[in-house]
Amino acid sequence: MKASIALSAAAVLAAKVSADCFSSRLGFPCCSSSSAEVWYTDSDGKWGVENDGWCGIPEAPSPAQCWSEAQGYPCCKFTSDVVFTDNDGNWGVENGNWCGIQKKNGNNGNGNLDDVTPDNQITLNGNPFANKIFYINPYYVEEVDGAIAQMTDASLISKAEKMKTFSNAIWLDSIKNMQSWLEPNLKGALAQQKSARKEVLTVFVVYDLPGRDCHALASNGELLANEGDWARYKSEYIDVIEEKLRTYKSQPVVLIVEPDSLANMVTNLDSTPACRWDDNRQKAGKVYSKVIQSGAPGKVRGFTDNVANYTPWEDPTLSRGPETEWNPCPDEKRYLEAIHKDFTAAGIPSVYFVCDTSRNGKKVDRKHPGEWCNQTGVGIGARPQASPISGMPYLDAFYWIKPLGESDGTSDTSAARFDGYCGHETAMKPAPEAGQWFQKHFEQGLKNANPPL
């Protein structure tokens, strides 16, 4: 079993041997020293930053090795879950490959996953994205590795390799996925934080509200809007998230809470259009203010926009006309400028934003702004970055919330979760179920990246 699952690991190791430094084959320079600060670790190696760019940290001339490396298998970097034990030690699985779980007496420079005891309570002031290392989602790295295995174009492979160096949000979209992904990623981020000696930020999407996304077939959730499922949501989902966050208290975490809940309700106030229209933004501000004040402690940092959508950040070719259904805010920049003003006027004390730029690098082919499913012409947008726009201090970050390559919904008209929007002219076909990997859409997003990868 170990031999079959580790074929890709053997290929990676062979490629590393043939290069001066592992990052050379990926189009990145080597760092100037093997003792450079580690900013990120993946299946290729350890990465640093020099001259405002990524560089591969060369191997230190030390005889110390992880016990599994002598057998041709890497050390585990993110997991401590034991899948198999033999005379050599404990084995785990990462990115579809066997890895050796490090013994307690050494961490081999990758961060000791046994040393994940939280320190003192962290206190965040101001922009939570500022001056942080952004945690890399290991599940998405695995998905991208799978996509690369299907590619033959060297240029496209190089672009895809770069995707593994950028952070994106981890979606807790079911009770099972929350149980599988929340604590292991908190633990992985904490281990990296202790190794790097710099705060490592993890972003989660809390996304399992009963009755989620109203009646949208492609993305509605596992829980229904009834008393029994509300009780499950609280005891099996939200309470568990709170417990884990209280445990891992020494690291920064951003929660993006139920992006398809309150926004959908506000959109349908008096059957009016979406929040981009002037009168509806004012109504939305009042509703959001009331909801925030009714909670405990009665405050949030701010809001997200363009989640899983395709609207460009700034597009002067878009205007208030028939093409945009007379939308006064046809791009995200104009929308945030307007909604910041209206939400502030509604008395909301903290109005900051995170804009999802994972798929809005170019204007897609959609015929009207309501087209949301697997749009053709997709391109990766601005890279994750804190405080990206001068003159907009209320914009905390550009960030990749919806991972490029994960489908919006199936185009199979016979499927139970088929949504008509996924069959529209500008929706790419054939498309798999929501959340499943969509290779063609991913590759188009790489080709159309703006700025280019």
User: Helix, strand, coil proportions of the chain in percent (round to 5)?
Assistant: 30, 15, 55
Give φ, ψ of 26 to 5 degrees: -95, 0
260 carries an active-site annotation: yes
* Of 358, 312, 357, the residue nearest 335 (C-alpha): 312
331 carries an active-site annotation: no
Count of positions (residues) in the chain:
453
* Of 301, 69, 111, the residue nearest 197 (C-alpha): 111
User: Is the CB of residue 409 less than 8 Å from the CB of residue 351?
Assistant: no
The active-site residue, picked from 213, 315, 365, 412, is 213
The active-site residue, picked from 44, 173, 356, 408, is 408
Residue 218, H or E segment: none
182 phi-psi bin (left φ>0, alpha ψ -120 to 50, beta other): alpha
* Of 89, 96, 42, 55, the residue nearest 69 (C-alpha): 89
Residue 407, H or E segment: none
Strand segments, DSSP code E, in 252-405 are: 253-257, 302-305, 352-356, 385-386, 395-399
How many other CB atoms are there within 10 angstroms of residue 153's CB atom? 12
Q: Which two tokens stand for residue 441?
A: 């859409």
- DSSP structural state of residue 308: T
DSSP-derived 3-state class of residue 256: strand
Please report the DSSP string for 361-395 in residue order. SS--S-SSTT--SSBTT----SPPEES-STT-TTE
Question: Could you identify the residue written with the tokens 């904490």?
Answer: 190
315 carries an active-site annotation: no
The active-site residue, picked from 42, 229, 260, 342, is 260
Amino acid making up residue 201: L
Residues with catalytic roles: 213, 260, 408
